[in-house]
Amino acid sequence: MKVRSFKTAATELLRQAGVTVDGPEPWDIQVNDEHFYSRGMLNGALGLGETYMDGLWDVARLDDMIARLLDARLNYRVRPWVVRLGELRMRLANLQTPDRAVEVAEIHYNLNNTFYRAMLGKTMAYSCGYWKNADSLDEAQHHKLELICQKLGLEPGMRVLDIGCGWGSFARYAAERHGVDVVGINISTEQIEFAQEHCKGLPVEIRWQDYRDVKGSFDRIVSVGMFEHVGHKNYRQFMEIARQCLKPDGLFLLHTIGSPTTGVNSDPWMEKYIFPNSELPSLRQMSRACEGHFVVEDIHSFGADYDPTLMAWFENFKAAWPRFEAEFGERFYRMWKYYLLACAASFRVRQMQVWQFVLSPHGVVRGYRRPDM
């Protein structure tokens, strides 16, 4: 296909999404280099992100533009061989084995803790906030943490396992506010170092440990924003291990991003540059993974709340960028801008979801009631 043909095809696809090349609207794309057309058409979603990182195009409102492309379902209509090859790789191989699982920690979570602190705010919670009665990012994250504690019915003296504990935001909150003992496991050395200091003086133990190696008995289990790294070939094993560690009368809260469709749910650009080996579960996959291990007591969907969470992170990131520009460089800035705003767009048009599951081994006597928050 000639360059002119690539340009014609790309321009027409963008037009179908309400995006005009070099147009006047804030969501209209401004092309800086015509190689954008061939790379975008040949590599689809991967090429769109890479050409933005390389400065081949700009747009005033990146989130609005991506939302329009997703709403027109161009990500499903433009699926070149490089995207299909990546999907085939995920179907055939287990990309989340213990050896491969550490890749996302090394590439993403082991970035500068100071950088994450500037972006995430006081709580250091790196998952969707709960904005029902919140006016700020910190307030939304506090409400999310309290919501989890209320759903689990935490009581002083309980022993809680936090699978994928991040920077220790839940562990610290639950120990301080609800008097529980927490064991947090993680495979990111930077997060572990921060979490240990963050939770110093509290009944919290932070371990370097893969979830497949966990042993012990716990009153409650929580996992927030980690299941996206488990992979469909390991969903059943994850649930089996959680069930083995949970007391018969215990509760397990699982908070995850999810996909409205069943399949290989991983954006090729995001998987390559942001979250290696990541994969989003569907409700069907979650249900099958739970069968025989857990009763599903409650499913709470509030994925629309991730849009304002990501936009708040982006504003923090943009404000703090002068402190990190020399360390990371312009391409990193464009990569993270694309990551945060493209994700916000995806939640905005509901192509990604957020679910909180409350699971029990045998079913709660007289039924489970979700707290009113």
Active site residue 343: yes
The amino acid occupying position 80 is P
SS3 39: helix
Q: pLDDT in tens for each of the 373 residues of the chain?
A: 455 688 999 999 999 999 999 999 999 999 999 999 999 888 888 999 999 999 999 999 999 999 999 999 887 776 665 666 667 677 767 778 888 889 999 999 999 999 999 999 999 999 999 999 999 999 999 999 999 999 999 999 999 999 999 999 999 999 999 999 999 999 999 999 999 999 999 999 999 999 999 999 999 999 999 999 999 999 999 999 999 999 999 999 999 999 999 977 678 899 999 999 999 999 999 999 999 999 999 999 999 999 999 999 999 999 999 999 999 999 999 999 999 999 999 999 999 999 999 999 999 999 999 999 8
**How far is the C-alpha of 251 from the C-alpha of 363, rounded, in Å?**
9
Per the structure block, which two tokens stand in for 253?
Answer: 């809260």
Give me the domains of the chain, ranges plus CATH numbers: 3-79 (no CATH), 97-360 (3.40.50.150)
Residue with tokens 């979801």, as numbered in its chain: 353
| pTM for the structure as a whole | 0.95
Beta bridge partners of 252: 221, 359
How far lies 242's CA from each of 162, 260, 274, 278, 294, in Å? 11, 24, 27, 20, 10
Residue 106, class by beta-carbon neighbours within 10 Å (0-12 exposed, 13-18 middle, 19+ buried)? middle
Q: What is the CA radius of gyration of the chain?
A: 21
